[in-house]
Amino acid sequence: MAANRRVPPVVDHRRLSFSLRALKAVKHPEDLQPTLEKLCVRYGLSHMAFLVVCSGGSSGLYPFHCTTYPVGWTETYLDRCYFDIDPVIDIVRYGFLPVDWSSLDRRSARASRLFSEARCYDIGPHGLTIPIRGPRGERCLFFVTSNLPKRDW
């Protein structure tokens, strides 16, 4: 029976600690993108993005986004109003749990077109979106994408 037991993955606490220190060291919004780019390289990810959906106060940060996505993809996403049809956004509007993009229904023509076009910009077929909520109504989203093979993702 013990032979069937799965061994938990090894967590590299040094990498995680480095990443958290790097993010904590960001003092200005313009310093966030280079930090995200370094973290993408460190973890073998294609892209990372952070979006403030609602700041929950008068912080002056809304609207705010930081992304390693190509400018062309960001412009296309906004020009085509993909925010309104993106199944990732739709799920996290009210959800609290992370969303693995492999669980999304991509069968509709609109969703299929969105993900197909994203691949043209090297966004990657795999992704994870983590909703972040704060005590004063803050709502943010953190995204990571990957071009790794499914088994490695």
Instruction: Judge whether residue 56 has pLDDT over 70.
Output: no
- What is the fold of 49-147? Beta-Lactamase (3.30.450)
3-state secondary structure of 53: strand
Instruction: Judge whether residue 66 has pLDDT over 80.
Output: yes
Sequence-ordered list of residues with C-beta below 8 angstroms from that of 148, at least 6 positions apart, any chain: 44, 124, 126
Contact in structure between 145 and 46 (CB atoms under 8 Å): yes
Contact in structure between 82 and 69 (CB atoms under 8 Å): no
CA–CA separation, 150 and 68 (whole Å): 21
pLDDT for 46 equals: 93
pLDDT for 133 equals: 81
> pLDDT (tens digit, 9 = 90+) per residue, 86-102?
888 877 777 788 999 98
> pLDDT (tens digit, 9 = 90+) per residue, 104-130?
888 889 888 999 999 999 998 899 999
Sequence-ordered list of residues with C-beta below 8 angstroms from that of 54, at least 6 positions apart, any chain: 62, 137, 138, 139
pLDDT for 62 equals: 53
Taking the complete model, does pTM exceed 0.85, yes or no?
no
Domain boundaries, the chain: 49-147
3-state secondary structure 95-120: CCCCEEHHHCCCCCHHHHHHHHHHHH
* Residue 136 per-residue DSSP state: T
